[in-house]
Amino acid sequence: MTDFSMKLNEDQLTLQKWVHDFAETVVRPAGEEWDEKEEFPYPIVEQAKEIGLYSWEFMAEAMMNDPTGLSMPIAIEELFWGDAGIGMAIMGSGLAAAGIASSATPEQLMEWVPQCYENADTGKLALGAFCASEPDAGSDVGGYRTSAKYDEKTDEWVLNGTKAWITNGGISDIHVVVAVVDPELGSKGHASFVVPPGTKGLSQGQKYKKHGIRASHTAEVVLDDVRVPGRCLLGGKEKLDERLAKVRRGEKGNAQAAMQTFEATRPAVGAQALGIARAALEYSTEYAKERHAFGRPIIMNQSIAFMLADMAVEVEASRNLIWRAAWLGKQRGFKHAEGSMAKLKAGRTATWVTERAIQILGGYGYTREYPVERWHRDAKIHDIFEGTEQIQQLVISRAISGLRIE
């Protein structure tokens, strides 16, 4: 069980304030502008890089060196409290870094993760992208068709296929691509590859015009005979061959490449949703205290006050699930799909709380003049990406029952 006597330590409190101050002074004031532009907010990400928030050192410290697992959810909540689209732009490269960390050798980790944030030669801003989903296979990871074939003569892997809904897709320096190396093994025949900067054959396909998180760049990634050196196979060929041989013999192997990454990041995705929900709760509470109707603040009406009370309960419940999942992930891993529980709850909470916030603001809440409309649009993606609401239910039901529920 989680030690609920645990309090945030001094370093975590300092981190929380540091990120909140940046979110309050830089991110939130820019949210509306970049949502309207529907463009990647390079100037804001540059500012995050200048203070060290956008850096591999920060990711390593928050993700790997905190024994409680809480630093990353704390930072993400504050950043997404500022704005989800810009928050995703700042944190999007972290998914590529997580994809590398889930499979890489120590040498690969040190070579590729820093390049998700900074160009190794110039020191300028760089981006990373984790490429898993495909046009005909999102939640169905067993349906991936992007192939990776080994060329023994050149010690290269040749990648072909199209990836869809990729954060930073096509504009990144580092693309981490999940591909099929053995079609007969389904999702267990996958492996992850790093496509280095400037590799021929990789291009951006369609850029999506989205309902929410519009400041985050989302696009297709097209791989046309993309050749990468053998060292770009994460984990190495010897380890891959060993794993595939175990699968063919019917032995239990490691989880397939995409799910290893998603399982590790689900509490963080929950923290994104939590930040949005908290922003909507705080804003609508202040609005209800200031807005007068029938001669008194509308918060004095039980119909409003009780909505806010329920919203506060859902926000606190979500945070407890997220922190517990993050802690468990560090201590012993998930046994009952706690990461999926946290993401499921927080995603639902964000969608519902932002909808209630619009209701409290009434007609104003439905206009772009007030931010709750944007937060509601931003919230919805958390019921969909990195495993839909229904996929989380499936994962949880399997975990608690021990049955292969389809």
Mind telling me the catalytic residues? Answer: 386
Question: Which of 307, 255, 312 has its CA nearest to residue 281?
Answer: 312
Question: Which of 83, 111, 109, 97 has its CA nearest to residue 24?
Answer: 83
Instruction: With residue 149 as reference, give the H or E element that holds it.
Output: strand 147-151
Which region holds residue 170: left if phi is over 0, alpha if psi is between -120 and 50, else beta?
Answer: left
List Cβ neighbours of 193 (8 Å cut-off, separation of 6 or more).
Answer: 148, 157, 159, 176, 177, 179, 228, 232, 233, 234
Partners of 157 in beta bridges: 150, 228
Question: Which of 321, 359, 138, 107 has its CA nearest to residue 231?
Answer: 107
Buried-state track 298-315, b at ≥16 Cβ within 10 A, e below 16? bbeeeebeebbeebbebb
CA–CA separation, 389 and 269 (whole Å): 12
Q: How many other CB atoms are found less than 10 A from the CB of residue 14?
A: 11
User: What is the DSSP code (8-state) at residue 166?
Assistant: E
Partners of 361 in beta bridges: none
**CA 231 to centroid of chain Cα atoms:** 26
